[in-house]
Amino acid sequence: ARSKEILRTADADVLVGVGGYVCTPMYLAARSLGVPIVIHEANTKAGLANKVGARYTTRVGTAFAATRIRNGSVVGMPMRSAVAGLDRAAAQAPARARLGLEPGLPTLVVTGGSLGALRLNQAVAGAAPALGAAGIQVLHITGNGKQVTGNDGGPLTAPLYRQVEYVDAMEDAYAAADVLLCRSGAGTVSEVAAVGLPAVFVPLPVGNGEQARNAAELVAADAALLVPDSQLDAAWIENNVIPLCRDSDRLAAMAARAAGLGIRDAADRMADMVLEAAGK
């Protein structure tokens, strides 16, 4: 009843849902009131709410081709225009300057998202000396309140290593990086594909395995690497990430394959779906 009242008060032309428990009653209310429904499913394994909603609409966009949901069609993941329109080659030098990085060195950017990722932080901290010795500079985005400390209790320092808790403009991080070491949430996977950035994915080891599924297409295409969370440590980075960062030919091939799978105009595709549902 509350969901119906919300829709009536809003005088909605279209209900757009992206999943989550709150969407199920909204989908049911929209169906009861005759309000058109548009759905976006971000993960490769569709959530229950969107599966319910997909019974009542033919307009279901998915971020990934592997997603199985009724009436689904691939539209990609809507993203900010600063990311969708990023020219990494042109933006690299100014992005590195803004982030305090050297312009001409192989560059690894590490991020576990806004909350950080303990496994990534520990592994990168352990590998920092070897990365520096290999001539690879590291921008380590640790997450808010997750500063990595050294043996003296102060912020970790190492040659060519720089840590920050967050970066406001992730497009700068994408432009600055030759390789991104990161989790594989749907948004991150979609964005690195769209901008053509080689990545090493470390799926979050919780839930139903959706992060590994999100990364599967890029990994299968040799556009990215994947390492289980339990296997990521300093030695793995030294044995796998250092050679990757130093192999410019391999990185160029990975970037091209990633870009070939990326979708930059997802926001426009979803907007078109909404306008069509509204009869405009």
Per-residue pLDDT tens digits for 92-116: 999 999 999 999 999 999 998 766 6
Q: Do residues 140 and 227 share a domain?
A: yes
Q: Do residues 109 and 127 share a domain?
A: yes
Q: For residue 242, what is the domain's CATH number?
A: 3.40.50.2000
Q: Do residues 130 and 230 share a domain?
A: yes
User: How many domains is the chain built from?
Assistant: 2
Q: Do residues 134 and 219 share a domain?
A: yes
Q: Do residues 268 and 255 share a domain?
A: no
Q: Do residues 132 and 250 share a domain?
A: yes
List phi, psi (to 5°) of 224.
-160, 160
Is there a contact between 163 and 155 (Cβ–Cβ < 8 Å)?
yes
Q: Do residues 107 and 160 share a domain?
A: yes
Q: Do residues 39 and 94 share a domain?
A: no
DSSP string of 128-187, one letter each residue: HHHHHHTT-EEEEE--TT---B-TTSSB---TTEEEES--S-HHHHHHH-SEEEE---HH
Q: Do residues 8 and 147 share a domain?
A: no
Is residue 11's pLDDT more than 70?
no
Q: Do residues 167 and 134 share a domain?
A: yes
Note down the domain range covering 199.
86-261
Which has more pLDDT, 155 or 54? 54
- pTM value? 0.91
Per-residue pLDDT tens digits for 216-264: 999 999 999 999 999 999 999 999 999 999 999 999 999 999 999 999 9
Identify the helix (H) or strand (E) that includes residue 20.
Answer: none
Identify the helix (H) or strand (E) that includes residue 242.
Answer: helix 242-245
Q: Do residues 18 and 53 share a domain?
A: yes
